[in-house]
Chain A
Amino acid sequence: MPRIFFATDLHGSETCWRKFLNAAKFYEADILICGGDMTGKAIIPIIEENGHFTYTLGGDPQVVAAAEVVEVETQIRRKGYYPLRVSPTRLAELDQNAEVRGDVFRQVMLEGVKRWMELADEKLGGTGVRVFVCPGNDDEFEVDDVIRSSKLVELGEGRLIDIAGFTMISTGWANPTPWNTHREESEERLSERIEAMASQIKDLSRAIFNLHTPPYRSGLDEAPAIDADLRLLHGGRALRPVGSKAVRDAIDRYQPMLSLHGHVHEGKGAVTLGKTLCINPGSAYEEGMLMAAIVNLDAAKGVKSYQLVNG
């Protein structure tokens, strides 16, 4: 019976994406699901000046020769950032002009996703492994088009997909966050979005909800409390539930056999809500560690077993 490997919130970490693809062979998984938020959050400029290159990666500025820049770019990508070679003039322009900066971000992100799709084709083409990606609230809409153009990777957003006799619905949309990201909407709209898919499922005992946002007050949605100025409260120890009530309602109402989530990196765990096993494998993309869930499905039992791994 099929074995699912689910990871999420890779946020541009090329190391994690490579591990994600290699997990098919490593864990003998038949289906790989990436739960969303594929794209990175930051650009690291590599400033070209007088024949040498300067960059800063979590410490003091480093100066390297031209021959070393490719290796530096690889390092930066592996940590989930986008390297960008710039002149001092271009750097100043990016610093001052938000519009230009936004365009550059979009360009490097889409190039990154395109490269990931090519990697997937290269590594898993012809293996029979199915790969699903459902962009999350941090992913811009253009990402969907890049995924659609992939030969191997299938886009999950808004679709009912048959996986060896099980039905999966997916959305990367989230309830509102303080960051006002790309795929956010009210709980009511999110509820309608899920409803539109869930209501079409014929056998809910064989249904998989792949919803980026975890259910509200499930323990999978506990994030450090922040104030209005986005500052962590109480040394980051105070946790608050930030999940979606719409997702929670949908799970409570439809009771699928399995519900896969991400979004809250600190919310690693697995809980049972009624008949539904809900999993958030968490994320440690910055460390290059792929936190994931392996779920063994069984035709009779539905979810036979699951395991959270740190690969």
Chain B
Amino acid sequence: MADTTMSPPGTGGSAAGARPSLFLRNATGLVKAWSTFDAFVYAFWSVNLITLGLYGMSFVYTVPDGQLLVAILLFGVLTTFLVITYAMLVSVMPRTGGDYAWQSRVLGGGLGFVLSITGWWFTLFLWAPIYANILNAQFFLPLAYTLGWSNVATFFTSASGLFISCLIVLAFVSVVVTLGMETYARIQKICFWIGLVGLAVVCGLLLFASQSDFHSAFNREAASLFGASGDAYQKTIDAGTKAGYAPHDFGFFSLGPVFLLLPWLAFYLLWPNWGATLYGEVRGAKDIRKPFWSMFWGLWVTIAMVAVVMILVVKTMGWQFYNAANAAFYAGTAPVGTWPYPVMFAGWLVDSHLFQALLIVVMGLWFFGWAGTLFLSSTRVIFAAAFDRVLPAWAANISAKRRVPYGSLVLMIVPSIIISAIYSYVPKFQSVFLDATAVLAVTFLATVVAAIILPWRRKDLYDASPIARYKVAGIPTITVVAVITAIFLLFMLYEWSFNSSNLYGTAFQSTLNSVYYFLATYVVAIVIYVVARIVRKNQGIDLARIHHEIPVE
């Protein structure tokens, strides 16, 4: 019932002095455009600078000669093509289900189901433990250490502690889904503004302190909270170097290593389109500018912020210390035995544990304003597959009273609990989780391929869309930008899968468990589709015809 209107309902369409280009009558659904800022907040959370961002960048020490700022800028430029591709797809087919709907309609129902369901359903199981890891590293552990609750800290470093964190994440996500997006959107906005204030405090502390101030503060708190003796700052650098980190100046530039940083940055910067699966609920999405600008600014504001934060980290903590601290932590040899959380370190510049704890809590809002949407897109994809009768109808069931999508929640939560237990108690499977980014990139790639061929494969839809008039040298713009995006994604997929030194911990030759796991997910997806086709055929339903276009003439 909802449409976007170019002029107030029931009036002519003219602005003062301009000719009207359409006349609208009073009809249901003629609403005014949604706020780009609201959608921006969602995209901004999806490329979360603090949670995913700081966590992802704790691995850049593995490419010590890569210039981080150049890599971030390059990633931003290349991801902008992804943003344009998705904004154009939203404009052509603003349907709930996003990747699933686009892939199904362009590539075919079976292929669309297998590729999107593996990414947005099966792989999202893996993200629950990743979120829990971040919750531990950025909230529970630093808070417990700061408040001197060593038993609590010890518990959360154990397998059971990690599993409990996973359960907390899943419970939080379930509550958010139950509350509904309207309530959570309000929570997100509160978290957004308070989180920004917290970030400003962190930046202020780093800006006005010198490296020697930080050196002293680090040694003081390392001794006070972790019992580290002597010059813990220097010992951290030494431990990092011993762990294999080869120090380079922050300003060092070499083109090749810049590209090697991109797959690490994908961990947080590849997701400005995370909300694209929801745009079907926004009729205003038909206007390409809204989804484009919301995703674009979500991406680039984050890039600007991460640049500022990293420059301040380099200025006050030191680039070699930052990288060495991460290298030493992952080697298990750091004098400060917790993940090197820059926010916690910045808090140490103020000699007050109460202030430090408060800063960690405030910055924790970056987690709680973000984590609630973990399964939101997944539930939409499951809905879309259930409506297409590929999944059973109960998968899209909603409870009558609270409107909780319990069918899709069960399909997400139950496997996530099992996967979380495996992650927590079977360490040899942890390489599987490093592939979580890569599998989503495969899903994006399939969507991008759909975008490349859309103008020919679904000419009717494309010609009827507002983007049909955008061409580059006679070639549809969506095809051009999607080809660039595909090359970008293929490069990263190649590096994740075949990097000869297993830089990202995901190379096929070193992580056979991951290969088997993900092959299994694709096989399961194929089996579900084939079984669905057989079962539905017996019910007189031909799944192949869902997306067949009826002739117009």
A residues whose Cβ falls under 8 Å from a Cβ of B: 9, 11, 15, 18-19, 22-23, 26-27, 37, 41-45, 47, 55-56, 58-59, 61, 78-79, 81, 88, 91, 94-96, 98, 101-102, 105, 137-138, 174, 177, 179-181, 217-219, 222-226, 229-242, 263-266, 268-273, 284, 286-290, 296, 304-311
Contacts and interface: CB of A to CB of B under 8 A. Distances in A.
Interface string B537-553: 00111100111111111
B282 A236 contact: yes
B39 A235 contact: yes
B64 to A, nearest CB: 40
A235 B90 CA distance: 14
A229 B32 contact: yes
Interface of B: 1-3, 9-14, 19-35, 38-42, 92-93, 95-96, 105, 180-182, 185-186, 275, 278, 280-286, 294, 383, 387-389, 393, 396-398, 400-401, 403, 460-461, 464-466, 469, 536, 539-542, 545-553
Given A41-B3, A219-B397, A237-B181, 6 more contacts: A26-B551, A59-B466, A179-B29, A231-B32, A235-B282, A237-B38
15 contacts: A11-B27, A15-B552, A95-B12, A98-B10, A101-B23, A105-B25, A219-B403, A222-B281, A233-B182, A235-B39, A235-B42, A235-B275, A237-B185, A266-B280, A287-B464
A234 B389 contact: no
Given A19-B552, A305-B539, A232 B22 contact: no
A181 B28 contact: yes
Chain B residues touching A, majority SS? loop
Contact of B284 (A55, A236, A308): A236
B181 A234 contact: yes
A270 B393 contact: yes
A82 to B, nearest CB: 9
A59 to B, nearest CB: 6
Interface centre among A56, A289, A304 (most CB of B within 10 A): A289
B546 A231 contact: no
B209 to A, nearest CB: 38
Given A223-B2, A238-B181, A288-B461, A45 B25 contact: no
A19 B38 contact: no
B550 A22 contact: yes
B95 A95 contact: no
Given A225-B182, A269-B396, A310-B105, A179 B27 contact: yes
A284 to B, nearest CB: 7
B42 A9 contact: no
Contacts of A265: 1-2, 29, 283
A296 B40 CA distance: 44
B389 A307 contact: yes
Contacts of A37: 28
